[in-house]
Amino acid sequence: FSAAPVSLAGIEDLWITEVVPSSGEVEVTNVGPDKVVLPNEFAFCHRFRYSDRISAATSFAAGESKVFNLNFSDADDSDLWLYRTTSGFGSAANIISGIKWGPAPGVGRTGIASADGKWSGAESFVPPPAAGMALQLVGADPFAATNWIEAVPDLGNYPIPEAPLSASLVATGDETFDFTWTGGAPPYLVRSSTALETWKTEMITD
């Protein structure tokens, strides 16, 4: 018996996809097409706390989500980053994915994630959810604050939508358009704008 080696490149596909701050539950999903096996321990970092880990040799099948239990010192305002290591926390290159919620600026490692262009920006944050509610990733960029929404917890189940195979936009008059596509599966995240500085985001579920 022999197994094909797992590419370390697949580690970049391990995204934090849901957080329930009030309970400390965190969902990590392998959004890539291949199985990923951790070559070493991975650390979660939040407000300079590094004790929460994912064990070495933990396996994620393609599309699989796993839930981990953390203890946030400030459930209303925290950063959360998944590191590919248990050291080198001052290097943004070791951050795989993460999120900052709550308005306090520069919390934890938010500054280095922003300086490296991974997080939206040092002052960007996701509004904290109500108690018992979750923050869920709904877009293709896990580092964009605008891709996170408040929702009822659905831990362990992250639907990875397939990208549409093709799409077209046809003007129908009166500032309306028909947007059609083939392939893919809902939900889809559609963004529209009447000006570069103002964007509207809609979730299409069917």
**pLDDT given at position 199:** 52
Candidates 9, 108, 88; CA nearest to 41 is 88
Q: How far is CA 138 from CA 24, 42, 135, 148, 173, in A?
A: 20, 24, 10, 6, 31
The pTM for the full model equals 0.75
Task: Please tell me whether the peptide bond between 105 and the residue prior to it is cis, using omega within 30 degrees of 0.
Answer: no
Residue 186: what pLDDT? 53
Residue where the block lists tokens 């951050």: 95
Identify whether the C-beta of residue 72 lies closer than 8 Å to the C-beta of residue 51: no
Print pLDDT tens along the chain (206 aa).
Answer: 333 333 455 899 999 999 999 999 999 999 998 999 999 999 999 999 999 999 999 999 999 999 999 999 999 999 999 999 999 999 999 999 999 999 998 899 999 999 999 999 878 999 999 999 999 999 889 999 999 999 999 999 998 755 444 566 666 766 666 766 655 555 555 655 566 555 555 555 55
145: helix, coil or strand?
A: helix
Q: Which residue, among 142, 120, 116, has the nearest Cα to 19 in the 3D structure?
A: 142
Residues 149 and 138: beta-carbon distance below 8 Å: yes
What pLDDT, on a 0 to 100 scale, did the predictor assign at position 181?
62
Q: How many separate helices (H) and strands (E) can be counted in the chain?
A: 1, 15
Torsion of CA 157, 63, 139, 183, to 10 degrees: -110
pLDDT of residue 162: 53
